[in-house]
Amino acid sequence: MRFIFLILLIPIILTPASFATNEALGIWDIPSDIQAQTLRTYLVKNIVVKEIRYVSSAYKNKPVKIFGYFCYPKNKKNLPAVAAIHGGGGYATLARSLKYAKKGYAALSIDLPGKGPLRWKKSRSTGPDMDVSTLLRVSPDITYNYLYHAVRAARCAISYLEQQPQVNSKKIAMVGFSWGGVITLLSNGIDKRIASAVPVFGSGYLDQGSTWQGRFDEWMSDANKQTYNKYFDAKNYLKTQHAPTLYMTGSNDHCYYIPNFIKSYQNMPAEKTKLAIYPNGRHRVSPIMQSNIFHWLDYTLKGKNRYPDIIKGELIHKGQNLLLPIRFKGPHKAKKVSLYYSKSGVAAWTIKRWKEIKAYKYKGIYYVKIPKYLVRPEILFYLGAKDSRGAFVTTPICALMFFKISDGRKLYTTTPPIEEINYHRISPKIWEKIFYAKPDIPGDSFWLANVERVGAKIVNKKSYYYIELP
């Protein structure tokens, strides 16, 4: 007999730990004089290229000098700009800056501080090396942590861009990949100069579900974990994301597990944030994802073409099927609206296989038809829409579950977004449908314990979840 753990969803009281404290914010001061230098200037076709260097912080009493490629279209002014922040194993590339410049942006691609095993020794910047031990280090004090210096380097990239005569200082974006996504979340949580943000892959809650989760347990004392979580986990900077944000990942990313990515998204300002989860995508930026980044930047920095949105409706029963209504909003027609689903439960997130069910349109609303036999006892799903330009937006991942109640009732229900590794939540509304009573149980209790508390139990019957009522 196999049991499933479910968490009851009730309103969460936000504690001070939910926000970046004043003390935490105080560590992110950056120099007013970054001592910028131009090392070399040349042309690549009609693009001006400047190899530059600036000082972002000090490490062990030595200046941290950051190298970068600054590119912009020749004879252009008042340009929107992009600071490109790489991840582990990355470094500044001329090709990356040129790609943005060819699209009409000024762009600065930087080498984050140091070298190290993750960097293949190609960085031309100084400072602490970018390896896992330094990324998690907080002793002898927090200035020995890599992110302490990396965030400064990224924010000084904003400083450099806003000082350039070719750049519109009010329209500067930050785009970061992997650890660069974490750095973008941290930066956008504290730096109001950022006008648009695209964190790719990076998330908060790293000690609760990521490729580094074991390192927190094996390497760090409780005190050091507490210090790291206070200053450097992006979860503390989600509520204060300043700029409009496109939050992007692959469903099967092996570094930042998707439930914690969704949990991070759920804690960001809803009115400023769009989500894009690429089905079966891994820890790699595809050309399609890169194209979507440009759609977002064109919208937020150039004022072109409002970004699309989708809204999930309530389940409708229709014979042997369930219909899920979807509303699509955007300036361009929807090219495709789909449901992506997986049948493999709430574990093994990096190896799931996501399948597609395309929606059909009827009287201005899209519908996805889900055969009831698929829900045995559940599927995980999310909705995605791509407009005629290729801009892609999704909902978070939820579950669709099938319950049989011992009094003869049958119940199909969608859950709130999945935010924990291995666990579901259900809403108070569903609890009331099952037990005919409002929940009065603490929000951190497991649903299985809640069921037992009222004298019931839940059993997995493979094709449904059976709830024996008291």
The tokens describing 325, both together, are: 């209504």
Assess contact for 224 and 139: CB atoms under 8 A: yes
Determine the pLDDT at residue 335: 96
DSSP string, 93-154: -HHHHHHHHHTT-EEEEEPPS---TTTTT-----SS--SHHHHH---S-GGGSHHHHHHHHH
pTM: 0.92
Enumerate residues 6+ apart whose C-beta is below 8 A from 205. 233, 235, 260, 263, 264
Q: Which residues of 65-80 are buried (b: 16+ CB within 10 A; e: fewer)?
A: bbbbbbbbbeeeeebb
CATH architecture of 309-399: Sandwich (2.60)
Q: How many residues does the chain have?
A: 470
Pairing of strands 79-85, 167-177: parallel
* Residues forming a β-bridge with 48: 43, 72
Q: Which residues of 397-411 are buried (b: 16+ CB within 10 A; e: fewer)?
A: bbbbbbbbbeeeeee
Determine the pLDDT at residue 446: 47
283 φ/ψ sector (left φ>0, alpha ψ -120 to 50, else beta): beta
**What does the CA dihedral 133, 135, 139, 140 come to, rounded to 10 degrees?**
100
CA distance 128 to 102: 33
Assess contact for 267 and 235: CB atoms under 8 A: yes
> What tens-digit pLDDT sequence spans the chain (470 residues)?
334 444 444 333 333 333 455 555 668 889 999 999 999 999 999 999 999 999 999 999 999 999 999 999 999 999 999 999 999 889 999 999 999 999 999 999 999 999 866 656 788 999 999 989 999 999 999 999 999 999 999 999 999 999 999 999 999 999 999 999 999 999 999 999 999 999 999 999 999 989 998 899 888 999 999 999 999 999 999 999 999 999 999 999 999 999 999 999 999 999 999 999 999 999 999 999 999 999 999 999 999 989 999 999 999 999 999 999 999 999 999 999 999 999 878 888 999 999 999 999 999 999 999 999 999 999 999 999 999 999 999 999 999 999 999 999 999 999 889 988 877 778 888 888 888 888 776 554 345 557 777 888 888 898 999 999 98
* Segments making up each domain of the chain, as ranges: 6-10+403-468, 31-302, 309-399
Determine the pLDDT at residue 22: 52
CATH architecture of 31-302: 3-Layer(aba) Sandwich (3.40)
Same fold, 31-302 and 309-399: no
Q: How many C-alpha atoms does 323 have within 13 Å on its Cβ side?
A: 12
